[in-house]
Each structure stands twice: as structure tokens, then as C-alpha cells.
Structure 1
Amino acid sequence: MSDIYKTRKTLLLRIKDQYNDDAWAEFSEVYKRYIYAIIRRMNINAADADDIVQRIMMNLWKKLPTMTYDEQKSFRAFLSVVTKHEVLDFIDQGKRQVKRDQKAFDEDYLNSIRLPEIETIAKSEWQIYLTNRAFAIMAKDYDELAVEGFRMCLKGASVAEVAKYMEAEEKVVYNLRFRMKERFAKEINKLRQDLE
């Protein structure tokens, strides 16, 4: 991927060409793990989640090129709705299959799936996704020890604990925490603007 900050609008325009492999590879990199995380949080096992992600990506490949997109609405919200419908279709198909052939699926598994509120899951997974992506971007400019120290600060570790871990003076940790916190907030905001 040449530029991690390609705008959502630009990316959505580029994928209107179904055969633009670079655009679809970028789209997949940006959204596939997020979709998978939502599905797993909906109590779908890993193998089925992989299949559902592939179905969603194929449906998006077919539909997005002809779709007109309302820029005022969140693309993330659109993806969560698409994901929800695909999971519901999966469950319905599984139940129909069980009726046709009791041995094809484990009915207990299908009945055990409880669909929590999709938007709650989607928001939570999106925050995790943005946080991980921001850390990956920052890791290019900070050494691993500094990034881990900042993670510790975010998780509630004291400056003294972080300084001991980093084998640095506390004032160095205060300074690093301030700089990285500012950069982290900028990265999160940029990602939200570009990807939501």
C-alpha cells in the first residue's frame, strides 16, 4: 500500500473499478480484520467467520462499484449493517441445512449463537482497530521500548513503573508520554477522518 492515509472517499472511488487490484488490496487491508473481529464477537467460530468475511468481501466487490455513497453517513456503520445481515443469513442457512440434514451442522452450535447488539460490538472493535493501527503508524517513528512504555501509560501504569521498565529517568517518561499522547491523538483523528 503506497499511502496509509488515502481518504475513504478516494478509496471508495477507486474501488468502483472492480478490477483495480491495488485499490481492492488496500480496501481489504483497511477493513477485512475489522469485519472479522465483529463476526467473532458475535460468537461465530473462526472457520465460519473466515467464510463469512469472504462472502462479505465478495458481495462488496459486486455491489460497491455501482453503489452511490452518502458521504454524510459513516462507512463503518454501513459495514456493520452489511456484516450483521451476512451473519444472520449464515445462521438462517445453517438452520435450514440442519432441517435438511441433521448431520451437516451441529444444531447446538447454531442455537448457541446469541447476537449481541451489533453497533456496540462494531464501535468497540473499531476503537481497538484504530488504536492498533495508530500504534503501528507510530512504531515507524519511535523505538519499540518507547511505544511499549506509552502503552503502559495508557493502561494506567505510573510514570515510576514506566521509567523502571524503560530504564530511564521519570522526566524522560513524562516528556515522552506528553509527545506520544499528542501524536497518538492526531493519528486516531486522522484515521477516523480517513476511514470512517
Structure 2
Amino acid sequence: MNDIYKTRKTLLLRIKDQHNDDAWSEFSQVYNRYLYAIIRRMNINADDADDIVQRIMLKLWKKLPEMTYDEQKSFRTYLRVVTKNEVLQFIDQRKRQMNRDQQTYDDGNDYLSAIRLPEIEQIAKNEWEIYLTNRAFDNLTEDYSEEAIEAFKMCLEGKEVSEVAKAFNLTEKAVYNLRFRMKERFGKEIAVLRRDLE
């Protein structure tokens, strides 16, 4: 398994050293896409989402070294709270700026009105599941061919075994075996990611 999947506890302890560039790079690699996806799902445009992710990472860089690690609490919950607070701060700053500038207020107000905050818990949960699924599939590429992964995805989508077999020129027995082996491995990958990253 890649080094990126060190346990959350180990990674959080390593980033207490703000100058441990390797740890912070690893931390960014693990969580940046997740944070960005949540923010984008809140109807925030790509440029603003990038800025907010950077603000969150800066805040984490400042706060995490002084935090104590508690295995009973979910780090992902903490990320969700920090993300929500940063989005609220972004909206407040943008509104104040628009009030000062008094230009294109209506257009900007429409954009700010479209941002959905009350749903952040559900958005974060959905994006986390997508994130874990994608990471698990990335891990499977170490041991399975792209064709095998695509066949397994078709099975997960509910396609008939005969249809998958035909699409990949396999026997139905081969598809059943592939589906069984990959389903077990995929479940283990998801469990490891949940343990290490949540």
C-alpha cells in the first residue's frame, strides 16, 4: 500500500511539525481533493473554491500543531466544521466587499445566494464516500488491470454477468470469479481507508 495511506494518527502527529514538508505534502494529497469537492458542491466557482481550500490548509497549518489527538473524535468532522466556517467567512467578506464597491451587486448577490450551507453535512458525507471509492479504485490498480477494474465497475452498476462477459470477451465464470475477488478486496480497501483517514 502507498505511503500516502499512513494512519491518520501518524500523519496528524507528523504534521504537528509545521516545517515537515513531506508530512504536509502527504496531508494535502490526502485531503485537498475532498475539501475542493465539498466546496464546489456548495455552488462556489472553481477559482473561489481553490482560494477557500488554500485558506483552510493555512488555517490547519496554524491550528493542527497545537491540537491534541483524540481517537474518539472524527478528524473528518473537524474538517467539515472548518470548511463550513471558511465558506461562511468567504460569503461575509464577499458581501462586505460588494457593499463597499456597490458594483454588480445583484449579479454577485445571486452567486452568493446560490451557495448552499445547510446541506454541508450531507454534501461532505456524499463527497467522502465518492472520495473513498475513488481512492480504493486507485489502490486496486496496483494488482488489477484497467480492464478488470472496468468489468468490476460494470458489475457494481448492476450489469448482468453475461453483458460484462460479452463486453470484455470473458467467460461468465471468469466474471463471477473476478467480481468475487475484487468485491472482497474493494471492501478491504474501503475499510482500511476509513480506518486511516476518518
Fold similarity call, TM over 0.5: yes
| Mapping 1:1-196, distance limit 5 Å | 3-103=3-103, 106-196=108-198
CA distance in 2, matches of 1:6, 1:104: 48
Report percent identity of matched pairs.
73
Cα shift readout 1:54-78 (whole Å, capped 9, x = no counterpart): 0000110111011113210111111
8 Å CA contact 1:43, 1:115 repeated in 2 = no
TM-score normalised per structure 2: 0.95
TM-score normalised per structure 1: 0.96
Cα shift readout 1:46-99 (whole Å, capped 9, x = no counterpart): 110000000000110111011113210111111011100000100011111111
Q: CA deviation at 1:2?
A: 5.8
Cα shift readout 1:9-30 (whole Å, capped 9, x = no counterpart): 0000000000000000000000
Change (3 A) 1:147 1:24: same
Q: Which amino acid aligns with 1:158?
A: E
CA distance in 1, matches of 2:144, 2:24: 30
Runs of 4+ in structure 1 deviating by more than 4 angstroms, as ranges, are: none
CA distance in 1, matches of 2:2, 2:172: 38
CA distance in 2, matches of 1:137, 1:144: 12
What RMSD, in angstroms, separates the aligned Cα atoms of the two structures? Answer: 1.4
Q: Which amino acid aligns with 1:119?
A: E
Q: How many residues align?
A: 196
Q: CA deviation at 1:166?
A: 1.0
Structure 2: segments with no counterpart, 5+ residues: none
Q: Which amino acid aligns with 2:163?
A: E
Q: Which amino acid aligns with 2:31?
A: Y
8 Å CA contact 1:97, 1:104 repeated in 2 = no
